[in-house]
Amino acid sequence: MIELLGPTYKYNGEILTKPEFIWINDHCFDEQDQCFHVKKLLDNSACDPKSHTLIFDHVLHDDVLTEYNLIHFPIFLASECQEFIHQNIETNWKDKTATFNFAINKSRIHRKLLLKEIKRLNLKNYTYSLAWQYNDVNDIPVTDFRFGPEVQLGQSIKNGNFKNAETYNRLLKQKVFEPSCISIITEPCYYEKESLLTEKTFMAIMGGTLPIWFGGWKNATALRNLGFDVFDDIIDHSYESIEDPRERCVQSLELNLHLFENIETIKIKLEDNRTRLQHNVDLLMENVFLKKCFDIIHASETNLKQALLTIAPNFRNQIFKEQVQKYKDLIFLQQKYKEQKTILG
C-alpha cells in the first residue's frame, strides 16, 4: 500500500508497475496547479490505471477521479468524532441570542468571500471567530480566542497540541456556536467537487444550529447519506450542486436569506425541532463514522480489507487500535467457529 499526504503530494514522474492500494490522507486537489496530482500518477502507470484503488478519508467525490476505483473510508471523521466524544460536552441551547455564526481559521478563497457577502447582504446579529492577526477584506474585527499557547499567524492559527474538540468545548461552544441559531460552515473544499466534512460541521451540530455550507460540494447530501438531518424542510440546500464554485457559495445565502430576517422566527423553528437537533448529536456520540468504517472493512474483499485494517489502527496516534484489535479477534473467533462446524458436519 502507498500512502500519500494529499495537500502536499505533487506528481514527480514516478511510475506504478503493478496494481496498488493508494491511501490518500486529507484532500488532494492542488489549487495552485488546478489539478489532482494523483490522477497524473494513475495515468502514467505502466499497468492499467483502473487496476489501482484509491482510498479517500472523506465521504464523497464527484470530480475527475470518479473513473477510477474509489473507496470512501471516513476514518478522519471517525477520529475527529471520537475526540468530541472524549470531551464529554454538555449542550446548552436555551440562550439563543444571535441569528447566525461563522468560524474562520485558515484563509481560503471562499472564507474571504463570506466576509464580503456578510457585508454585501447586510447580515447582522452574529457571533463569530476570525482567528487572524489582520483582516484585509473588510472591517469585521479579528478575534483572539485562546486558552493556551496557540500561535496566531497572519491569517490562520497554529493550535499546537490542542484538539479541535477541546477548542470547541473550552472556547467556541459558549462564545460562538451555542448562542446562535444558524451556522454558516466553511469547509475546506472550494474548486473540487468533493465533500470534505470536518470539525466545523461537528461544531455546528453540537451547538444546536441549522447548517448552511458556504463552499464545498454536496456537503448536505453527504451528511444526509450518513443518517443526519440537514433540515431540508427549512433550509434550501439546492445550492450545493451549482457548477460554479463562487455562485455555489453566493446562493447558499441568497436562497436562504429569509432565515436571517427575524431571530424570533428562527428560534421558534429550533425549539420546534429540538428532537431533530438532538438526533444529530446522538449520531455523533455513537460515532456513526467509525461504524461506517467497520461496515466497509467487513464488506471488502481480502486484499482491500487488509489495507483498511492497516490504515485504521494507525490513524491519528492509534486512536482506534483497541477497537480494530477487538474486530480482528471477533473475526478470528467466527472463522474458528466455521471451521469447527465444518469438521463436525
Residue 7 located in a structural domain: yes
Co-location of 42 and 102 in the same domain: no
Q: What is the CATH number of the domain that holds 236?
A: 3.40.50
Co-location of 188 and 316 in the same domain: no
Q: How many helices (H) and strands (E) does the chain have?
A: 12, 14
Co-location of 163 and 243 in the same domain: yes
Cβ distance 11 to 36 under 8 Å?
A: no
Is pLDDT of 246 > 90?
A: yes
d(CA 135, CA 146): 18
Co-location of 117 and 168 in the same domain: yes
Is pLDDT of 345 > 80?
A: no
| Beta carbons within 8 Å of 246's beta carbon, 6+ residues apart | 110, 113
Would you state the pLDDT for residue 35? 97
Is pLDDT of 34 > 80?
A: yes
Total domains in the fold of the chain: 2
Is pLDDT of 341 > 80?
A: no
Residue 83 located in a structural domain: no
Co-location of 136 and 239 in the same domain: yes
pLDDT in tens, 174-217: 999 999 999 999 999 999 999 999 999 999 999 999 999 999 99
Residue 85 located in a structural domain: no
Cβ distance 196 to 187 under 8 Å?
A: yes
Residue 88 located in a structural domain: no
Q: What residue numbers bound the domain in which 119 lies?
A: 93-285
Question: In sequence order, what DSSP letters do the residues of 212-236 get, joined into one string?
Answer: EESSSSSHHHHHHHTT----TTTS-
| % of the chain residues with pLDDT over 90 | 89
Co-location of 303 and 317 in the same domain: yes
Residue 294 located in a structural domain: yes
pLDDT in tens, 153-183: 565 555 556 799 999 999 999 999 999 999 9
Co-location of 125 and 209 in the same domain: yes
Cβ distance 336 to 96 under 8 Å?
A: no
Would you state the pLDDT for residue 158? 55
Among candidate residues 285, 307, 332, the one where a domain is terminated: 285
